[in-house]
Amino acid sequence: MMLRCLGRLGSRGVPKIVRWTSSSSTDNPALNPFPENPFNKAEEEALQKVISSRAKDLPSSEMKNPFEKEKVKCILCQLDINPSYKNLRLLSQFVSSFTGKPYGRHITGLCKGKQELVEKEIMKARNLGMMPYMLKNAKFLKDPPLYDPEKPLRPHNY
């Protein structure tokens, strides 16, 4: 199969239109400025051999990226726990024993949704009189900590 350029030559001898058509085998090869490359078939066969031999070396599309970091989940999302105002022991884990204020996300390591839910449930429990405002309940002081308030998980301003 031969290809021929249809179009006029510009002022510098460069074709203006780059449209190629196949020429029939009845064309005179002496008049054809683009003769057929006799090595095209051999090159295509060699290329197909290389592609087929390398196909088993290519990475599988089903394989996960080995360099991708695992997405970090907060402890409540990992264990699928939904905080409730009735669960005072869980809520007291996120309250400072000195000031009674809820710890921030950078200390607790909770995701934004769970942190807001914990703070909302703490306020609900306080409004119902189930949790103290200024201190942590004394019977929950010896519970095992979920995190270390002295070593925040994320950087912060203070």
- Gyration radius of the chain over CA positions: 36
User: Are 91 and 140 spatial neighbours (Cβ–Cβ below 8 Å)?
Assistant: no
- Please name the residues in contact with 33: beta carbons below 8 A apart, sequence gap of 6 or more: 4, 5
**DSSP H or E run through 6:** strand 2-6
Provide the Cα torsion 111, 117, 121, 124; round to 10°.
140
* CB-CB neighbours of 110 under 10 Å: 26
pLDDT digits (tens, 9 = 90+) for 71-94: 888 899 999 999 999 999 999 999
pLDDT of residue 82: 95
> Once rounded to an integer, what is the mean pLDDT over residues 112-131?
95
> Once rounded to an integer, what is the mean pLDDT over residues 54-73?
79
Q: Of 147, 139, 140, 144, whose CA–CA distance to 115 is shortest? A: 147
pLDDT of residue 136: 86
> Once rounded to an integer, what is the mean pLDDT over residues 32-53?
79
